[in-house]
């Protein structure tokens, strides 16, 4: 079953069969410098998924080695996202910063076996010395320092005797290596900065390449799964763990293709720019590709898990069509949510031959949704329909209400137009209509044929709601950043009308507004006095049509 699901499962399976590991331990290792996005969801699903498929464990580890950009609020956002997706990291969240003492000791050990040295050239010189793809690098003159000198300097770096950039600790590997990453990579740099957890204890911080493999080792990770851009870092990963001659078993790194989605940016740096520049209303803005954004918009965790599963695990980078994600949420909601009536752009209709009022029985669910539940829809002589659902000069194929074409009111009667009322500017302000008493939905004996049923609300009973219509945040397929923002990504309708049962019965938080799309009661701004709904997704893929 899970054995051959993808190439990662195959590797894990082989490693268990060969006895290389007794237990599978993976980790999801984000840097807490932003909210997690849909790409992280993919990584979460892979790491937690493999752990669960092989009855192992997955750590949630904050890769917090960069003090200037990290913050507790991002740690909380990461925890929220992982638990919302339904995964369990066990008792404690892990932090690389908890291993700073151990990582420091490993650095000292490398110095002692003459495999690391303190370099003191400036950045420009260091870049020059590194060489190019076609030309070997030159080792710094400081690489000849004695072990004692290096030990002394490294300790003084730790003690804060030097300024940022004055010295670095480098691995002594090979300045001629074809893999440029192996040309004496940096292990530590000086950074006088406050760390959100370690405080001011440290003014030197380990680099990713040094901290990551050691954190994996310290946590007994068996399979360290990361994205393809770390392929060249794998040699350093192996070099560090092998050179330190650590007790086995030790972890190995495996790469998979990063998830990319069209019309979406997924770099945390760019997402931060959108938030800081107030181009969106925070990290959980429903237009953001963050997990918090999808959640606030009304996506279900099932739709995200299903999406991650559908796209699979690949070894080569590719672009996924955002329509596939939209398909996943539409498909999930279609099977679950109640259908209700709303009017976003109301046009008054007075049914002149109707007196009094009544309540129409209406099921919340269509026949193909295996759920029970119905409500009463109030009806009276004054209703509102969608402005779009009336046309005085209809084009061919227009099936809704016209001066000569009747239409059915969903769950109610068939009506026809008697008169069109306009204001002095020629705008239609009201339709005078008549209804057919024997055409009631479910007991129609009128014999009148209509081509469509439209949504409507009773003017007296309807509730006013705010509706937020979201479109894609970026207007082109491969957006770079703010210059590609879609200026119409948010449209707020303040006075939409909704049938009262939605507000009073609260049968669900997500609804299909018939013929409009799927909507979600905004978890933050919604109140009974001022209901607010977010558009989750349209009913069909209308992009570009």
CA dist 163 → 58, 150, 155, 185, 192 (Å): 38, 17, 14, 20, 8
Closest CB to ligand ATP among 146 and 267?
267
With CB cut-offs between 5 and 8 Å by kind, which of Mg ion, ligand ATP, none does residue 531 bind?
none
**Which residue is catalytic, options 234, 250, 268, 339?**
268
CA dist 482 → 273, 291, 321, 405, 479 (Å): 8, 20, 21, 47, 8
296 close to 325: Cβ distance less than 8 angstroms: no
Closest CB to ligand ATP among 260 and 403?
260
453 close to 413: Cβ distance less than 8 angstroms: no
Minimum CB separation from ligand ATP for residue 306, in Å?
A: 17
Q: Which stretch binds ligand ATP (CB under 6 A): 26-34, 124-132, 214-222, 503-511?
A: 26-34
**Which residue is catalytic, options 5, 20, 31, 515?**
31
CA dist 306 → 41, 284, 309, 311, 327 (Å): 11, 21, 5, 9, 10
Q: Is 517 in the site for ligand ATP (CB under 6 A)?
A: no
**Which residue is catalytic, options 79, 109, 130, 258?**
258
Q: Is 3 a catalytic residue?
A: no
Q: Is 268 a catalytic residue?
A: yes
Closest CB to ligand ATP among 39 and 293?
39
With CB cut-offs between 5 and 8 Å by kind, which of Mg ion, ligand ATP, none does residue 227 bind?
ligand ATP
The correct pick among 12, 25, 35, 40 for binding ligand ATP (CB under 6 A) is 40
Q: What torsion, rounded to 10 degrees, do the Cα atoms 452, 457, 463, 469 define?
A: 20
Q: Is 215 in the site for ligand ATP (CB under 6 A)?
A: no
263 close to 476: Cβ distance less than 8 angstroms: yes
71 close to 103: Cβ distance less than 8 angstroms: no
Phi, psi for 532 (deg, rounded to 5): -130, 130
Q: Is 43 in the site for ligand ATP (CB under 6 A)?
A: yes
Minimum CB separation from ligand ATP for residue 153, in Å?
A: 30
Minimum CB separation from ligand ATP for residue 31, in Å?
A: 4
Minimum CB separation from ligand ATP for residue 259, in Å?
A: 4
Interaction with ligand ATP in 450-479: which residues (CB under 6 A)? none
The correct pick among 6, 15, 31, 302 for binding ligand ATP (CB under 6 A) is 31
Tokens of 174: 């090979």
Q: Is 93 in the site for ligand ATP (CB under 6 A)?
A: no
Minimum CB separation from Mg ion for residue 317, in Å?
A: 16
Minimum CB separation from Mg ion for residue 226, in Å?
A: 9
Interaction with ligand ATP in 53-92: which residues (CB under 6 A)? 63
Q: Which stretch binds ligand ATP (CB under 6 A): 28-36, 114-122, 135-143, 375-383?
A: 28-36
The correct pick among 227, 262, 363, 452 for binding ligand ATP (CB under 6 A) is 227
Closest CB to ligand ATP among 267 and 445?
267
The correct pick among 21, 24, 25, 29 for binding ligand ATP (CB under 6 A) is 29
Q: Is 258 a catalytic residue?
A: yes
Minimum CB separation from Mg ion for residue 97, in Å?
A: 15
Per the DSSP assignment, residues forming a β-bridge with 254 are: 225
Closest CB to ligand ATP among 208 and 518?
208
Which residue from 256, 216, 224 is spatially nearest to 102, judged by alpha carbons? 216
Those residues whose C-beta lies under 8 Å from the C-beta of residue 82, and which sit 6 or more positions away, are 28, 44, 48, 60, 89
Q: Which stretch binds ligand ATP (CB under 6 A): 23-31, 111-119, 451-459, 480-488?
A: 23-31
Segments of 54-150 assigned E as strands = 57-62, 94-95, 116-119
99 secondary structure, DSSP code:
G
Annotate each residue in 85-124 with x if it binds Mg ion (CB under 5 A) or - if it does not, as one string.
----------------------------------------
Q: What is the DSSP string of 196-222?
A: TTTBTS-SEEE-HHHHHHHHHHHTT-S
To 10 degrees, what angle do helices 234-243 and 208-218 make? Answer: 60
Q: Is 30 in the site for ligand ATP (CB under 6 A)?
A: yes
The correct pick among 167, 268, 400, 440 for binding ligand ATP (CB under 6 A) is 268
CA distance 88 to 196: 24
Closest CB to Mg ion among 70 and 326?
70
Minimum CB separation from ligand ATP for residue 534, in Å?
A: 24
3 state SS of 306: helix
Those residues whose C-beta lies under 8 Å from the C-beta of residue 41, and which sit 6 or more positions away, are 81, 85, 291, 304, 308
10 Å CB burial of residue 252 (0-12, 13-18, 19+) is: buried
291 close to 40: Cβ distance less than 8 angstroms: yes
Q: Angle 412-418-421 (CA atoms, 0-180°, nearest 5)?
A: 110
The correct pick among 42, 158, 250, 411 for binding ligand ATP (CB under 6 A) is 42
The correct pick among 85, 226, 288, 313 for binding ligand ATP (CB under 6 A) is 226
Closest CB to ligand ATP among 217 and 511?
217
Minimum CB separation from ligand ATP for residue 236, in Å?
A: 16
Closest CB to ligand ATP among 24 and 153?
24
CA distance 477 to 484: 9
Which residue from 161, 158, 197 is spatially nearest to 71, judged by alpha carbons? 197
144 secondary structure, DSSP code:
G
Residues found near ligand ATP in the complex (CB under 6 A): 29-31, 39-40, 42-43, 63, 226-227, 258-259, 266-268
Residues found near Mg ion in the complex (CB under 5 A): 31
Query: Which sequence positions are flagged as catalytic?
Result: 31, 258, 268
């Amino acid at each position: 079953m899970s054995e051959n699901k993808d190439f990662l499962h195959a590797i894990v399976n082989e490693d268990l069969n060969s006895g290389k590991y007794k237990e599978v331990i993976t980790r999801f290792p984000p840097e807490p410098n932003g909210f997690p996005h849909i790409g992280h969801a993919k990584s979460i699903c892979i790491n937690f998924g493999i752990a669960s498929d092989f009855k192992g464990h997955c750590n949630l580890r904050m890769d917090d080695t960069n003090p200037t950009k990290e913050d507790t609020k991002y740690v909380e956002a990461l925890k929220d996202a992982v638990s919302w997706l339904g995964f369990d990291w066990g008792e404690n969240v892990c932090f690389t910063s908890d291993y700073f003492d151990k990582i420091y000791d490993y650095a000292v050990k490398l110095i002692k076996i003459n495999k690391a040295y303190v370099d003191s050239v400036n950045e420009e010189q260091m870049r020059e010395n590194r060489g190019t793809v076609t030309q070997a690098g030159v080792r710094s003159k400081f690489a000849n320092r004695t072990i004692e000198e290096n030990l002394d300097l490294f300790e003084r770096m730790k003690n804060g005797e030097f300024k940022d950039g004055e010295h670095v600790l480098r691995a002594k590997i090979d300045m001629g290596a074809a893999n440029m990453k192996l040309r004496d990579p940096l292990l530590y740099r000086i950074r006088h900065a406050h760390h959100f957890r370690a405080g001011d204890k440290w003014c030197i911080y380990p680099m990713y390449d040094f901290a990551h493999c050691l954190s994996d080792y310290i946590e007994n990770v068996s399979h360290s799964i990361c994205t393809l851009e770390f392929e060249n870092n794998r040699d350093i990963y192996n070099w560090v763990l092998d050179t330190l001659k650590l007790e086995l078993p030790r972890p190995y790194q495996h790469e998979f293709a990063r998830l990319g989605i069209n019309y979406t940016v997924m770099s945390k740096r760019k997402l931060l720019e959108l938030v800081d520049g107030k181009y969106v209303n925070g990290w959980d803005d429903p237009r953001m590709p963050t997990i918090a954004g999808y959640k606030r918009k009304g996506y279900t965790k099932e739709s995200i898990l299903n999406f991650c599963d559908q796209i699979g695990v690949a070894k080569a980078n590719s672009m996924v069509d955002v329509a596939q994600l939209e398909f996943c949420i539409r498909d999930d909601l279609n099977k679950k949510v109640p259908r209700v009536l709303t009017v976003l752009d109301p046009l008054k209709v007075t049914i002149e031959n109707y007196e009094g009022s009544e309540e129409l029985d209406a099921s919340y669910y269509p026949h193909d949704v295996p759920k029970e539940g119905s409500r009463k829809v109030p009806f009276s002589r004054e209703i509102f329909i969608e402005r779009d659902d009336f046309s005085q000069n209809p084009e061919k194929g227009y099936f809704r209400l016209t001066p000569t074409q009747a239409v059915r009111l969903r769950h109610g009667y068939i009506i026809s137009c008697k008169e069109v009322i306009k204001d002095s500017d020629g705008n239609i302000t009201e339709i005078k209509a008549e209804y057919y008493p024997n055409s009631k939905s479910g007991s129609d004996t009128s014999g009148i044929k209509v081509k469509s049923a439209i949504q409507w609300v009773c003017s007296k009973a309807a509730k006013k709601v705010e509706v937020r219509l979201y479109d894609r945040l970026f207007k082109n397929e491969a957006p770079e950043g703010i210059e590609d923002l879609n200026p119409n990504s948010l449209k707020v309708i303040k006075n939409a009308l909704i049938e009262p049962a939605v507000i009073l019965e609260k049968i669900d938080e997500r609804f299909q507004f018939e013929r409009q799309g799927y909507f979600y009661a905004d978890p933050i701004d919604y109140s009974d006095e001022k209901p607010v709904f977010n558009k989750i997704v349209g009913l069909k893929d209308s992009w570009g049509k």
